[in-house]
Structure 1
Amino acid sequence: MTQKGKKQCFRRTSPPDILRDLPGNVIDEILMCLPFRDAVRTSILSKKWRHIWCSLPQLTLCYTLWKPEEDLTDFPSNFVRIVNHFLIFHVGPVTKFTLCVPYLDICPNIDNLIRHISRNGIQHLVLRLPIRGKPYILPSSLFTCSQLRHLTLQNCSILYQRDFKGFDRLTSLELRDVTIESKFIELLISRCSLLEQLVLQISGALSNVIEISAPMLRSFDYTGNIRSICVKNIPVLAKLSLSHREYYVAAGKCNIAKFFESFSALEQLHLNDMFFAAGAGEVPMRLSYDLYCVKHLCISSIYLSDSNEVSCALCLIRSFPNLQSMEIKVECDDNDTPALESLEVEPFSDVTFNHLREVKLMQTNGTIPEMQLMKLLLAKSPKLVRMLIEPCLVEDSATVKVLAELTKFQRASPKAEVVYKLDKHPNPPSV
């Protein structure tokens, strides 16, 4: 066989270059699923792949990508090297960018990084910055990103931006443990006309009341001092979550009736605890209006021996006539005396939970107020299908006592099943 024939035979039998023949959009999807370090390393796989990472529109920079978590000695210098590499070689738009650097005392070169992505069409930006040392002050260039749709900022300081025009396309905003003036929070939210999801986790007490005005807002998760927030113009808000930090408990009074009057479209309410009950003064039996849209109520922490907390909880429950599911986590207290006789069935003679189908009670101990709550819900819920009880007690004798008591309670629903779930029993008993 001639030399020419050998070459032709070799060409006919050579396997195709699968990597080279992949469509460009497929290669992009593969690289965007990889950690940044591994995406860069793919440049050695094929000539076609050599510079593809340089134009990826979605990138994540996290300390775990280029330095083992247990050895952070050289992390600052490595971080600077990686950022510089990105700034020099990356070209084209950056539509999604995540930066997570929780262990640095300082943030070298982040200003240049933010300036770079702010000029390249950023739409989804997540900055989780160091929790040590002084808070990182965000550069003003961040507030020129006119195409932003999602913004998450954590552990940073935001200065008042007098020339801020707004994020016209922003639909999701998360501010966690940030230092920011009340006035700028209001301005920031009011100038995001399409905002649908809002998370505010305030890291310090604010001297002024924050007024939230967001006509498109559908979900609001707030951690802070409820007495420092005023919610207005939220006609489509469907999901609300409220939490507090302990040092805010005694920070003034909250008018529960006035606070909830703006939530006409509310469907889901999550109260991390009943903290707004502290200092609330006299609580009405029910609100002067009903919130007909509320279908799901979750209270993550309540002391049934605290009269203020019980009063506030019952006031809300009475005012949700279309409630379908309820989840309550009970806090243990040495005092097992009922807070009020209002947990008895008789004071609810004018109330029936006509739509309540599922109830979940957690961390119960079989105390008197807990048993009264179970009795009340069973007696006033004609459509109840299932009550799940997850106790924290483990003594068999106590379990038998609670189960025996539950069998005596009158049930408005013939289909109501009470499931008593214990970790040591794979098949929880039903009564």
Structure 2
Amino acid sequence: MQVLTGYYCYIMPPKGKKRSSRTVPPDILSNLPDNIIDAIMMHLPLRDAVRTSILSTKWRYNWCRLPELTLDQALWEMTDNGISPTIRFTNIIFHLLTLHVGPISKFALSIATLGNCPKIDNLICFLSRNGIQNLVLQFPKDNLYKLPSSFFMCSQMRHLSLNNCILNPPPAFKGFDQLVSLELCEVTISSKYFRTLISCCPLLEQLVLHSSITNHIQITSPKLISFDFRGRINFISLKDVPLLAKLSLVDTGYYEKAGKCGIAKFLESFPVLEHLHLDYYSVRFFAGEVPGQLPSALNCLKRLCLSDISLDELDVASCTLYLIKSSPYLQQIEIKVYDEDEWVERTVDDVIDAILEQVEGLSDVTLNHLRAVKLTGISGTEPEMELIKFLLAKSPILSRMLIKPGLGDGSPETRLEVLAEITQFRRASPKAEVDYKLT
């Protein structure tokens, strides 16, 4: 930290003139109001904030009342490397527990790179008694930390992020009734306890769940606005989520249960959904029953993102077209096609014919609100080209379509042929620009 230091010099008065008495300029830095000092301290890394104690006697313990503390990798790297990481961590925590005064509203701890996970039960207990509202805990992947019972006594918690730990609520746990956002990444928790945890958080608005539960997910959350899921899935149920506006389901595993959950039945529970992100596996999971039209259209859906999918597979293509058809107010579409080199099976002609027939069946559909389209990994297959033709012909206010071929898709000559074909497609929007990345 760069410390500001004042320099003073004495200038001799001209001959024949008397010296004038002057007072020493006040120490502006030490006389700043407490709220200004606190604002300065909170914008510094914790190590630099502690080092301000050398500025003056008044500044010696200013860091001790910081309401927000971050102990991350940068802090471990800046401390003495001659001492083992565990001892360094213990020393820092000891000084924190013994010197800090006042409430701690936000605390972030990352020890993901330390070889061992030090026992921090006392720290969790300390935070639970000091009004913690925003808590971020990240532990080593190979040494999951079991949260102590004192963790479940953080009654003022509003934002919680947990990484690589074990969550096992005690029987008397009544939930975090002030919790607004929850992020669980690689957290070990049973489906039963997870369901109980969510149901006991009545104000929950944002939920992120990455690779934490491997069987059943049941969520009842009337205030939930955003749900981001990534990981394996056997069963999912979202009930009583009338405010859900943003949904992302990215499934990294493939199960025999794929196709057992109908897309229409699943989406009818989200009347105000605005943003939807699905990947190949989640589309396959919902692609079993694809009706001609949703019982009630997705009239609020504005952005549709499909990643790592195959437009050459009948069920996936059918689900993709179904989502577009059932969303009359779409403004953005983003589709990322998988790299064909990763797949051995090739699409047979009768499947392609069935997909093309479904595209032709959308002749009565008009996308009156679609403004932007981004297609990545396009190789020029017939289903892909038919989809591009459809989107250009049915989007009267489309302003830009960005098309990026896959990294290993075709020679430059092939890409030029694809571009030449696309330029011949009819465009419903006179302002539509097609940006095809040749390289």
Aligned partner of 1:180 in structure 2 is 189
Asked if 1:375 is matched to 2:382, the reply is no
State the secondary structure of the residue aligned to 2:429: coil
Distance 2:70 2:362 in 1: 55
1:75 and 2:85 aligned: yes
Closer, same or farther: CA 34–370 of 1 in aligned 2, 3 Å: same
2:60 matched to which residue of 1? 50
Shift of residue 414, structure 1, vs aligned partner = 2.4
Deviation at 1:415, TM superposition (A): 2.3
SS at match of 2:86: helix
After superposition, residues 13-52 of structure 1 pair within 5 angstroms as: 13-52=23-62
Given that residues 101 and 128 in structure 1 are in contact (C-alpha distance below 8 angstroms), is that contact kept between their aligned partners in structure 2?
A: yes
Match of 2:371 among 357, 360, 381: 357
Q: 1:259 aligns with which of 242, 263, 266?
A: 266
Q: Distance in 2 between matches of 1:109 and 1:47?
A: 34
Amino acid at match of 2:405: P
* Structure 1 residues 118-157: aligned runs within 5 Å: 118-133=128-143, 135-157=144-166
Aligned amino acid, residue 266 of structure 1? L
Aligned twin of 1:242: 249
- Please list the CA deviations of residues 121-164 of structure 1 after superposition, one character each: whole Å capped at 9, or x if unmatched: 0011000111123x110011111111111001110001132111
Q: 1:214 to 1:204 in 2, by over 3 A?
A: closer
Tell me what 2:355 maps to: 342
- Quote how far apart the aligned CAs of 1:405 are: 0.3
- Report the Cα distance in structure 1 between the residues aligned to 2:413 and 2:173, rounded to whole angstroms: 65
Contact 2:161–2:183 under 8 Å retained in 1: yes
C-alpha spacing 1:336/1:75, structure 2 compared with 1 (3 Å): same
Deviation at 1:24, TM superposition (A): 0.8
For residues 313-339 of structure 1, the C-alpha deviation after alignment (integer angstroms, 9 at most, x for no partner) is 111111111111101111122646664
- Show structure 2 runs of 5+ residues with no match: 1-18
Q: In 2, Cα distance between the equivalents of 1:244 and 1:200? A: 11
Mean alpha-carbon deviation: is it higher for 265-274 or for 236-245? 265-274
Give the structure 2 partner of residue 216 of structure 1: 223
- Structure 1 length-normalised TM: 0.89
Q: CA deviation at 1:13?
A: 4.6
Q: Return the offset for 1:279.
A: 7.9
Distance 1:162 1:46, change over 3 A: same
Alignment of 1:267-306 (within 5 A): 267-278=274-285, 280-306=287-313
Q: Corresponding residue for 2:16?
A: none
- The CA deviation at 1:210 is 2.4
The Cα shift of 1:403 comes to: 1.8
| Aligned-partner SS, 2:380 | coil
Partners of 1:354 and 1:381 within 8 A in 2: yes
Q: Secondary structure at the match of 1:21?
A: coil
- 72 and 260 in structure 1: CA distance in 2 versus 1, 3 angstrom threshold: farther
Kindly state the Cα deviation for residue 274 of structure 1 after the two structures are TM-superposed: 4.5
Deviation at 1:101, TM superposition (A): 0.3
**Counterpart residue number, 2:105:** 95
Q: CA deviation at 1:237?
A: 0.7
User: Sequence identity of aligned pairs in percent?
Assistant: 54
Pair 1:408 & 2:424 matched: yes
CA–CA distance in 2 between the matches of 1:165 and 1:228? Answer: 26
Mapped to 2, the partners of 1:180 and 1:152 lie a distance apart of 14
- Asked if 1:193 is matched to 2:213, the reply is no
Classify 1:11/1:163 alpha carbon distance in 2 versus 1 (closer, same or farther; 3 Å).
farther
Residue pair 1:215, 1:236 contacting (<8 A) in 2 also: yes
Deviation at 1:249, TM superposition (A): 3.6
Gaps of 5+ in 1: 1-8, 424-431
Q: Output the amino acid matched with 1:368.
A: E
Secondary structure at the aligned position of 2:22 is classed as helix
Evaluate the alpha carbon distance shift between residue 69 and residue 382 of structure 1 in structure 2; reply closer, same or farther with a 3 A threshold: farther
Q: How many residues align?
A: 411
Conserved in 2, the CA contact under 8 Å of 1:63 and 1:79? no
Q: Distance in 2 between matches of 1:160 and 1:108?
A: 21
Q: Deviations over 1:271-302 (max 9, x none)?
A: 13353414843422332321100011011221
CA gap 1:178/1:95 in 2 versus in 1, 3 angstroms: same
Secondary structure of the structure 2 residue equivalent to 1:113: helix
Q: Which range moves more in the overlay, 94-103 or 60-69?
A: 60-69
- Kindly indicate whether the alpha-carbon contact (under 8 Å) linking 2:415 and 2:438 is maintained by their aligned counterparts in 1: no
User: What's 1:162 paired with?
Assistant: 171
Residue 412 of structure 1, CA deviation? 2.1
Tell whether the 8 Å contact from 1:250 to 1:278 is kept in structure 2 after alignment.
no
